[in-house]
Structure 1
Amino acid sequence: MKTKEIREVFLNFFEEKSHKIVSSAPMVVKNDPTLMFTNAGMNQFKDFFLGYNKAKDTRVANTQKCLRVSGKHNDLEEVGVDTYHHTMFEMLGNWSFGDYFKKEAIGWAWEILTEVYKIDKRKLYVTVFEGDKEDGLGVDQASFDIWKQYIDEDRIILASKKDNFWEMGESGPCGPASEIHVDIRSEAEREKVDGKSLVNADHPQVIEIWNLVFMQYNRMADGSLDKLPNNHVDTGMGLERLAMVMQGVTSNYDTDQFQYLINFIAKKANKKYGASEKLDIAMRVVADHIRAIAFSITDGQLPSNTGAGYVIRRILRRAVRYGYSTLGLEGPFLYELSEKLGEIMGDAFPELLNQKETISKVIYEEEVSFFRTLAQGIKKLDGIIESAKAKNELILDGEVIFELYDTFGFPIDLTGLIARENDLQIDENGFNIALEKQKTRSRAATQVSTQDWVQLKEDDKEEFVGYDFLESDIYITKYREVSQKKKKFYQLVFNLTPFYAQGGGQEGDTGFIELDGEKVKIFDTKKENNLIVHLVDKLPENINGKFKAHVDTKRRRLVEANHSGTHLLHHVLREVLGTHVEQKGSLVNEKVLRFDFSHFSKLSEEEISAIESKVNALIKANITLDEKRNIPIKVAEDMGAMALFGEKYGDVVRVIKFGDSVELCGGTHVSSTGIIGSFKIVTESSVAAGIRRIEAITSDAAELYFSTRVTQFDAIANLFNKPKNLVKTIEETLAKNAVLQKQIDALKLEKVNYIGKDIESNIVEKNGVHFLSEKLNLDNDSIKQIAFNLKSKFNPFVGVFGGSNDGKASLTIIFTEAYAKENDLNAGGIIREAAKLIKGGGGGQPFYASAGGSDANGIAEGLKFIEEKIFGA
């Protein structure tokens, strides 16, 4: 059975069991500060487990695209080394939100595995939670007794809290789990060694296939457990592992989808899969990683140097380095593989086909950039190796290697390979110490500590009323203390709120709540899952009172102008550039709007002008907002509403319409376009291959921009005595200046050449070398030119120069290369020490270096210091 069929059978089975089949949530998480990526099928349902939302459908099933790059089993550097772990994988799952529980979950799991998929019952084992004294929990006897109806008791294994008690995090919903394991060894091997002894022992052919989690408890911040008001079921089964079992192979990478990719990689590299473990690992890494990279891009996460983007860049570079160092692929190749991925998975995930060109171009540019980085890193490493050999060192310093890894992104394994080729080793321990220090710094910078919620009042659901009201009477239903970066603040939840929470690119509202003359400032509003939290530095004195909530009206109006302007911009971009334009990211606050979109070339001045003109025409038309709340998504789609990238929409949505601009949007907007005032593009740039970025301003910011430009224009015109044609006058002035500058440069060159010839007579012989120490009243560039001219004439040559020009001091050292090497001299190292004497700094290469400083009085001492360093005192 092909992977595609296996997926379809699972979904059909649970649909027949009255489950609503829902689509996969984006793999990149937008509104959960605890997660960068969806790492389990339950992530999109956290609100139901936490009690923040009530599920409309109490039975749900789906296949969820997940990404794991750390955790119990999955360290990124291990993926591809074994046969069953991945970065991106599909999680098949079924859920019950307060509906069925253990009996049905266990019965249906057994039914589909043994009766539908027809997996041999003799190959299956199950685990049950054995209890935990610390938590005061006994054996999950209910699950044990249910399993006895389906499987021999000697195949039911009691397992520890580590393996069979699932927790969402340090706090939150949790409960005992029951895992189903399958033994895919040959019959002879199964007879020789009992599979029961290999369960949870990391055996590559006795693996967990399905985890049934029974959420019964809530873990409090102090570690204690409370019973949840309702019992829930959360199950997850890796599609790739199930396919391995169903297709009778012993590796996930031998299943049909992976083999389709691996065959392409093997052909591209002219290598054979199965020929060697080293080659196989490389091909598995590349086949695995292209999935994580491509799916992240479809969800709007581009590779970058921070956050989730850094994780994707790291995965991409790991794939490239395996292709480069092991498979011998010396140019971009992943971008081609992304198209193969669309062919094999595009039916289940059409975003791979819809964004085919964007995915390919983004990956290609990243590959080109990294190959450039590899070339730079190899050059830098060559210098490190040369220096080590010159000092007769056999081990490369761990901190230096870490700097190469951290600053240049040069892979440590490639460093080790090149070092071994030069009969050297690397200080892995020193590298690991430096790496751990960096991780510790990073963790400390981002660590967030939250206390338990303090419940003040019961309230079914917090309503957002901010579309219609900027003030409202509220009370606080609960609060908690939060610590981040050594700063303490509080999150407040209201029974209702006029404050818009950050989402869809729009920043959260600010303002204050007020009671009896006390004002408590709200400095941000965020959404954690679907809970709106208001951030304050201190708690109000009468926390149980009834408050008046005030949104910062002026700021909100400016934000609304920018958000509505973003919608108009998106519409006009598609009109001017073409319907290939799709939103890839946005930021909206009171100062600016930023819009990222798919387009493959820089916008011309004519295009920018046309876009501005059309947006401003829509603003002047004063089009009234046509807002439709709570309409079925199918109706919205029929209206032509544009959906945002990487967002998951419910069955009911909100539509924002300004004339022909129709978008799904939860943000706040102006009541008519005329309120926006005016629109001005301030920058247009590239974010990544095929992704452009426009930053623009509206309203007050645009007015200030234009008034400032008019003031500047008038000032410039006055400087030129208000000519009739200011542009022509400036062009003529610049042309005259260019002619004069050429004349000045020619005179300067003549002067430098004259001085250079003049000081040749001051060269003396010292220790068998032509030596010159000279102080010149010239700038550093002129001294450099003289130094290199003299070096080309005299061999061997050592030149030491001091410079004084416009109150600035400089020192310069130059050697002929052979002399520097023979005498183990490094101009860069010497100049760094000498620079202190002129109160400055500098650096350079072993044969040439310069320094600049502020104290010309130190030049003479600096020249003497350098001479003594070279020749001795």
Structure 2
Amino acid sequence: MSIGGTAEDVNGLHEGVADLSIETAWSARRVRQTFIDYFTNKREHVFWPSSPVVPHDDPTLLFANAGMNQYKPLFLGIVDPKLPLSKLTRAVNSQKCIRAGGKHNDLEDVGKDTYHHTFFEMLGNWSFGSYFKEEAIAWAWDCLVNEFGLDPSRLYATYFGGNEKQGLTADEEARNIWLRYLPPNRVLPFDCKDNFWEMGETGPCGPCTEIHYDRLPAREVPELVNMDSPDLIEIWNVVFIQYNREEGGALRELPSKHVDTGMGFERLTSILQDKPSNYDTDIFMPLFDAIQELTGAPPYAGKLGKADPESRDMAYRVVADHIRTLTFAIADGAVPSNDGRGYVLRRILRRAVRYGAKVLGAAPGFFSKLVHVVVNQMKDIFPELEEKEKRVVEVLADEERAFNRTLDQGEKHFKKVADELLLAASQRGGDKGEKVAFPAKEAHYLYSTMGFPVDLTELMAEEKGLTVDRAGFETLLAEDKRQSAMAAAAKKEMGGKEIVLEAEQTAWLQSRGVEITDSSLKYVWHHEPSARVMALYKGKAVGFVEEVTAEDGVVAVILNTTSFYAEQGGQIHDTGVITNLDGTDTLRVDSVQSYGGYVLHIGPLESGALRVGDTATCMVDYERRARIAPNHTMTHVLNYALRRVLLKGVSDGSGLCDQKGSAVDDEKLRFDFAWNKALTKEELAEVETIVRERISQELPVHSYIAPLEKALHINSLRQVFGERYPDPVRVLSVGHEVPPMLEDPTNPAWQDTSVEFCGGTHLSNTREAERFALIEETGIAKGIRRITAVTKDMARAAEELAEEFAGLLALAEVKPEEELEGEVKMLNTRLGPLTISAVEKERFRTALDALLTRVKKFKKEKVARSRDIALSRVTEIATEAAASGRSVVIERLDFGTDGKIAKEALDKASQIHPSGCFLLISADEDSGKFGVYSTAPKLGSPLDPIAWVAAAVEGAGGGRSGGKSPRGQGVGEGLEKIGSAVTAAKAFAGV
């Protein structure tokens, strides 16, 4: 396989990015190819491409070194002999590695220094019983010194110094081999932590030897080896796989000995390009240029710590590193999610997006646009990136869009709380070194409501000089999990099994004459009936008992009658309490389930004791039920409205619009239905309007128990396909009484009625729902759509939020175009997470798009005016200079920092005055930056245009400059420094 390529190939990968001049012939592509060629051509290795990054055996790690995992069967001698892998004796590759979790977590360090990464490549050569220490060390030395030309006097080697506890002796063999190449003071022993390599708790392992390189010449500093010095760095690890770590920690010697090496590709490239860090190489510079182009931020300057007070260069490093990580991970099948490794990816993405937006000023959607740069850089060696590019962009765009909805609000909330804390601390006049803690409840709010990972909050706190009450946050998070899992947990016994009734338990109840529970009172509101305790159950491990106390934990109570609604039909169960007559014995009912007619009231006994035969009182939380019922009734009305809008009220037998599921609780309603495309905004508006009309019409809600066969003939009836219904069945109708429908089932009048079979608890009149807001319509599977909606107070809150946003939008619409772009960006960010009607949200988006179109038109016209003025003025200048014989012209023309206008102006100047040297300085009032552009004759020019621009930029305090002869270009910071730039340009030109 040939990768090929030169430094020139790497440059300009992103359209519109300025060329970079790599100061050495060692482009990144050439470094990788040279390593692969060295082993394939000289050492008879087979190029064996890296497998996908995969989960490590250690679950605390995000992903493993991909190369090691694919060769593990070879090391252990268990590979299928029919597979091509079994014939492999030597291999070479570049391995994809992601490290962002567990003991090898580099995530929090990325950006703060110039050598940590979450994604990196490892160049590796492998032996599977073919060669061992002698060849591996000799070839490593030859490759580094003779192939790559590294200075031998800067190299150090380490070897394993042994471990008595594990019965491992020092690797004197490796040491003696190294002494042929290096003096003794540069061959150093280290312990298991540094020089015994293991892939996890179990698996192939062995001693290793590391090669370290000193970036600084002419010194002997063995004491800095393995001390995390940025100048004396490890570049190659040669592992001698000779053991297998088994369960329990025992080491078993392998029958064959192998070699697994890993050389840091990014580190080697920085050394060969004579750059101070990996980030200064052509691996990252194209990404930095693309980031600069997308954000309009000042160019990357490589600053660290206090020298980077705005964290701008740190943000460049974070964004560049994280886009590489996410591109590779998603291309290999991983996706951001809410748990496990997916959550680590989501944290990485949100960290990058936040830095891009808040530090670099990136517009929403910028991050996914960087994928193409990564793909173009890496597709030659990793072709899967190009194949999966579209998928990667889609996933990142969706994730970025979701986070951007809450980023601005979350930042504002954090700032408000942080500023109040800091003000209070300053008023107290406490110790200056005191760290003020950001409250746990606020960190939890940002996490649960705004989607901020806690480490992002910690990062923001660090920037403000605060800490975060992490212990308190974890406590709140644990309580969250307890609450969200309460119903499920309530069903479980101490042994971890659900508290359920099966054939054995129902037979036991029947054998003792326990009748099934009479649950008819669940339809009666605000009633506290007396009941008798018929059975007490502690799960299958214990079974039925005669008495339960508070020490028993979660138990189940079966009553002869109940007013509690048991979970079924998509409606959540009731909650409440069961007490004895005098209220001294109280069971908190967290879940209500029904099995074979027996209703289980599940929860902990909070006080006293309950015994079989006791008289108890059912006390349902009717306030909570009053929030559930309108959501359930409006689910029925929504079902009707969808059929009326999408099918014009008539089913065609295709199954379209059939109900596919529903969920109703005290906060919202959710309805899933068969439909093969997203609803249009017009369809959504019509559906929402119909439901609201039914509420305003104050329609009575009727229920009636009817013979199943008779009820099935009602022509407007909607039922769930495949569902089995009881006979007789409960019919629920919104608007019309049921008996007339049973008498005249084919009457067309019923078509305008919501009629369904349902055993849930409902309103008595639609007016009780008060309001309705259709919050979201989305696809959940192929051909299945989901609508989420709210009623009552939640819908009222949605209306108030919409009214508030409408007011902000009205204010924005009268702003001048110069201020409008930032306002639109802010409103777009704010609109995303708002829980308002989807119809209103779409209307607001359309209005914001119109404002954005207005801004674009204004900016386009402004650029056109600037161009015309610039070309007119440069024509005058060049004509006058040509007539007077002036060869050097330095002029200020304020057309912003538009490179296209600059090129056109310089072309015009050269056309009029071919022998002239021109330098134009142009202010950009919006950004506070100024551009410097130059041109000179290709032959016989007295000035180097690139150096000329550099002198002007440096004279103004520094900035970015470059170009390609005969033109130079640069950008400076601060319009007040333009005079200094002019002075420096004149001095350089000698005018």
TM-score, reference length from structure 1? 0.50
Q: 1:729 to 1:243 in 2, by over 3 A?
A: farther
CA apart distance, 1:252: 0.4
Question: In the alignment, which residue of structure 1 is the partner of 2:83?
Answer: none
- Which runs of structure 2 are paired with 1:46-125 in the superposition (5 Å)? 46-53=72-79, 55-70=86-101, 74-125=105-156
AA in 2 matched with 1:263: D
CA apart distance, 1:347: 2.2
- Which runs of structure 2 are paired with 1:726-765 in the superposition (5 Å)? 730-734=750-754, 745=767
Contact 1:96/1:233 (CA < 8 Å) preserved in 2? Answer: yes
CA distance, structure 2, for counterparts of residue 225 and residue 105 of structure 1: 23
Question: In the alignment, which residue of structure 1 is the partner of 2:340?
Answer: 307
AA in 1 matched with 2:175: F
Contact 1:37/1:67 (CA < 8 Å) preserved in 2? Answer: yes
CA distance, structure 2, for counterparts of residue 230 and residue 433 of structure 1: 52
Q: What SS does the aligned partner of 2:189 have?
A: strand
Question: In the alignment, which residue of structure 1 is the partner of 2:64?
Answer: 38
Contact 2:110/2:116 (CA < 8 Å) preserved in 1? Answer: yes
CA distance, structure 2, for counterparts of residue 89 and residue 748 of structure 1: 57
1:23 aligned to which of 35, 40, 49? 49
AA in 1 matched with 2:451: G
Contact 2:205/2:244 (CA < 8 Å) preserved in 1? Answer: yes
Question: In the alignment, which residue of structure 2 is the partner of 1:431?
Answer: 470
Q: What SS does the aligned partner of 1:260 have?
A: helix
CA distance, structure 2, for counterparts of residue 734 and residue 274 of structure 1: 66
Q: 1:706 to 1:151 in 2, by over 3 A?
A: same
Cα distance per residue 1:597-616 (max 9 Å; x no partner): xxxxxxx999xx99x99xxx
Question: Structure 1: which 5+ runs fail to align?
Answer: 443-484, 489-603, 614-679, 687-703, 736-740, 750-778, 789-873
2:238 aligned to which of 203, 212, 216? 212
Contact 2:447/2:454 (CA < 8 Å) preserved in 1? Answer: no
Contact 2:53/2:96 (CA < 8 Å) preserved in 1? Answer: yes
Q: What SS does the aligned partner of 2:270 have?
A: helix
The answer to whether the aligner puts 1:367 opposite 2:394 as a matched pair is: no
Q: What SS does the aligned partner of 1:163 have?
A: helix
CA apart distance, 1:418: 7.5
The answer to whether the aligner puts 1:233 opposite 2:266 as a matched pair is: no
Q: 1:72 to 1:417 in 2, by over 3 A?
A: closer
Question: In the alignment, which residue of structure 2 is the partner of 1:653?
Answer: none
AA in 1 matched with 2:379: G
The answer to whether the aligner puts 1:162 opposite 2:193 as a matched pair is: yes
- Which runs of structure 2 are paired with 1:390-789 in the superposition (5 Å)? 395=436, 397-407=438-448, 408-410=450-452, 426-428=466-468, 430-431=469-470, 434=473, 707-708=722-723, 720-721=741-742, 730-734=750-754, 745=767
Cα distance per residue 1:524-549 (max 9 Å; x no partner): xxxxxxxxxxxxxxxxxxxxxxxxxx
CA apart distance, 1:56: 2.7
The answer to whether the aligner puts 1:4 opposite 2:41 as a matched pair is: no
Query: Percent identity over the alignment?
Result: 41
Q: 1:748 to 1:76 in 2, by over 3 A?
A: closer
The answer to whether the aligner puts 1:270 opposite 2:270 as a matched pair is: no
CA apart distance, 1:177: 0.4
Contact 1:11/1:61 (CA < 8 Å) preserved in 2? Answer: yes
Q: 1:248 to 1:487 in 2, by over 3 A?
A: farther
AA in 2 matched with 1:82: D
1:184 aligned to which of 197, 208, 215? 215
After TM superposition, the structure 1 stretch with the greater mean CA deviation from structure 2, 375-384 or 195-204, is 375-384
Contact 1:402/1:435 (CA < 8 Å) preserved in 2? Answer: no
CA apart distance, 1:709: 8.0
Q: What SS does the aligned partner of 1:84 have?
A: coil
CA apart distance, 1:146: 1.7
Q: What SS does the aligned partner of 1:107 have?
A: helix
- Which runs of structure 2 are paired with 1:332-347 in the superposition (5 Å)? 332-347=365-380
Cα distance per residue 1:339-384 (max 9 Å; x no partner): 2212222222223222323222221221221122223324544664
Pick the structure with more strand per residue.
1
Q: 1:344 to 1:709 in 2, by over 3 A?
A: farther
Aligned length: 499
CA distance, structure 1, for counterparts of residue 793 and residue 113 of structure 2: 57
CA distance, structure 2, for counterparts of residue 440 and residue 8 of structure 1: 54
Question: In the alignment, which residue of structure 2 is the partner of 1:322?
Answer: 355
AA in 1 matched with 2:299: K
Question: In the alignment, which residue of structure 1 is the partner of 2:862?
Answer: none
Q: What SS does the aligned partner of 1:234 have?
A: strand
Cα distance per residue 1:92-136 (max 9 Å; x no partner): 112222221111111221121112112221221111111112122
Q: What SS does the aligned partner of 2:334 have?
A: coil
The answer to whether the aligner puts 1:198 opposite 2:224 as a matched pair is: yes
Q: 1:705 to 1:400 in 2, by over 3 A?
A: closer
CA distance, structure 2, for counterparts of residue 149 and residue 247 of structure 1: 28
CA distance, structure 2, for counterparts of residue 147 and residue 350 of structure 1: 38
Contact 2:196/2:207 (CA < 8 Å) preserved in 1? Answer: yes
Contact 2:441/2:476 (CA < 8 Å) preserved in 1? Answer: no
Q: 1:144 to 1:204 in 2, by over 3 A?
A: same
Cα distance per residue 1:55-106 (max 9 Å; x no partner): 3312222111110013556431111222222111111112222221111111
Contact 2:57/2:200 (CA < 8 Å) preserved in 1? Answer: no
AA in 1 matched with 2:373: K
CA distance, structure 2, for counterparts of residue 242 and residue 440 of structure 1: 48
CA apart distance, 1:179: 0.5
CA distance, structure 1, for counterparts of residue 259 and residue 178 of structure 2: 16
CA distance, structure 2, for counterparts of residue 212 and residue 155 of structure 1: 17
Question: In the alignment, which residue of structure 2 is the partner of 1:289?
Answer: 322
Cα distance per residue 1:184-227 (max 9 Å; x no partner): 12x3xx33xx2322211111121111100111223344434332
Q: 1:226 to 1:382 in 2, by over 3 A?
A: closer
Cα distance per residue 1:552-581 (max 9 Å; x no partner): xxxxxxxxxxxxxxxxxxxxxxxxxxxxxx
CA apart distance, 1:710: 11
Q: 1:155 to 1:376 in 2, by over 3 A?
A: same
After TM superposition, the structure 1 stretch with the greater mean CA deviation from structure 2, 121-130 or 63-72, is 63-72
Q: What SS does the aligned partner of 1:182 have?
A: strand
TM-score, reference length from structure 2? 0.45
The answer to whether the aligner puts 1:149 opposite 2:176 as a matched pair is: no
- Which runs of structure 2 are paired with 1:783-862 in the superposition (5 Å)? none
Root-mean-square deviation (Å): 4.7
Cα distance per residue 1:836-866 (max 9 Å; x no partner): xxxxxxxxxxxxxxxxxxxxxxxxxxxxxxx
Q: 1:310 to 1:106 in 2, by over 3 A?
A: same
CA apart distance, 1:283: 0.5
AA in 2 matched with 1:258: F
CA apart distance, 1:682: 6.7
Cα distance per residue 1:596-636 (max 9 Å; x no partner): xxxxxxxx999xx99x99xxxxxxxxxxxxxxxxxxxxxxx
Contact 1:396/1:425 (CA < 8 Å) preserved in 2? Answer: no
CA apart distance, 1:733: 2.5
AA in 2 matched with 1:322: Y
AA in 1 matched with 2:181: Y
Q: What SS does the aligned partner of 1:261 have?
A: helix
Q: 1:681 to 1:95 in 2, by over 3 A?
A: farther
AA in 1 matched with 2:333: G
AA in 1 matched with 2:151: D
